[in-house]
A and B are shown apart, each in its own frame.
Chain A
Amino acid sequence: MRKDNLKTGFMDMFILETLYDTDRYGYEIAYVLKEKSAGYISVAVSALYPYLYKMEDNGWITSYRQKSGFKMERVYYHLEEKGMLELEAQRAEYFRKVKAINNLLSRNVVSESDEKIS
């Protein structure tokens, strides 16, 4: 699977997951995604905005401004109840997909292990 496909398919879930513990601002979300995925999921903050707007429109998250230093203002995002439900639904769907894909690809796994045995 190309990285781009992975991003577009699961980005909502990734962002909601980063907001599960605490409220975060754009750069922080991008940083956490990179750190937690050991650099595999690297997203520019500019690419996050459209997802965040969509999630706000859907009522999954809300935003608020907070001052952080001289003339600096950050927009923090907060996960709402509706967003938590959505996250759980997306997580369940993701694990179903993973199980289905694993079943689909199991032939290759068997043949690889067979090769090792032989």
Chain B
Amino acid sequence: MKRNCTNEYYQEVRKLLPEINFKEGRFLRDIKKALTDYEKAHPACTYEDLVKEFESPDDIVYNYILVEGKDYLFKMLDKKRYNKHVGVYAITTILILGISIMGIYFGIPMCAENNYSVIKETSITTETSFRKTTCITYLENGDYIQTAKGRN
């Protein structure tokens, strides 16, 4: 039970830190060591005892940021803003790609099926000064589509 209380306290401090790099890692190690030492000296300690001895986890992190100064704070804010933008761009790109893929694989065949059905397809190749191929597609409703391909 008491082990959980120091663990809970430590996890709260860890969660509140804006990032964990080398410096924060050292800070967390020192906090953990201090908690362990306190626990050894006071085996029946509670979470409230820890707050009384070490201040609350948010006070610890607030103090840490305060001592690190405004450069640290602005760096953290910039990083957060950058991460937010990266997130928005990533989601937008994934959405666009997803819609495009869905359009290619499902959209075009569905359109073709719904609008008309092909009953006959004829290709006429004319050999003149250039090669020209005319493709006539006869549709069920009596209409036809004529497409010409060729090169000089």
CA distance A28 to B55 in the complex (A): 17
A26 / chain B contacts, CB cutoff of 8 Å: 30, 34
Is B63 located at the chain interface by the 8 A CB criterion?
Answer: yes
The minimal Cβ–Cβ distance linking B133 to chain A, given in whole angstroms, is: 77
Interface contact B67-A46, CB-CB below 8 Å: no
CA distance A49 to B28 in the complex (A): 10
Interface of B is mostly: helix
CA distance A75 to B60 in the complex (A): 20
CA distance A54 to B72 in the complex (A): 13
Which of B26, B34, B66, B68 is A46 in contact with, Cβ under 8 Å? B34
A75 / chain B contacts, CB cutoff of 8 Å: 30
Interface contact A46-B23, CB-CB below 8 Å: no
- For the complex, count residues of A whose C-beta is within 8 A of B: 13
How many of chain B's residues touch chain A, expressed as a range?
A: 10 to 19
A44 / chain B contacts, CB cutoff of 8 Å: 53-55, 60
CA distance A51 to B63 in the complex (A): 9
Q: Tell whether A47 pairs with B55 under 8 Å between CB atoms, given A26-B34, A54-B67.
A: yes
B116 / chain A contacts, CB cutoff of 8 Å: none
| Residue ranges of B at the interface with A (Cβ–Cβ < 8 Å) | 23, 26-27, 30-31, 34, 37, 53-55, 59-60, 63-64, 66-68
21 contacts between A and B (CB under 8 A): A8-B66, A26-B34, A44-B54, A44-B55, A44-B60, A45-B34, A46-B31, A46-B55, A46-B63, A47-B59, A47-B60, A47-B63, A49-B30, A49-B64, A50-B63, A50-B68, A53-B23, A53-B26, A54-B67, A54-B68, A72-B37
- A44-B53, A53-B23 provided; 20 other pairs, C-beta below 8 A? A8-B66, A8-B67, A26-B30, A44-B60, A45-B34, A46-B34, A46-B54, A47-B60, A47-B63, A49-B27, A49-B31, A49-B64, A50-B27, A50-B63, A50-B67, A50-B68, A53-B26, A53-B27, A72-B37, A75-B30
Give the 9 A-B CB pairs with smallest separation, nearest first.
A50-B67, A46-B54, A44-B55, A50-B64, A47-B63, A44-B54, A46-B60, A49-B30, A45-B34
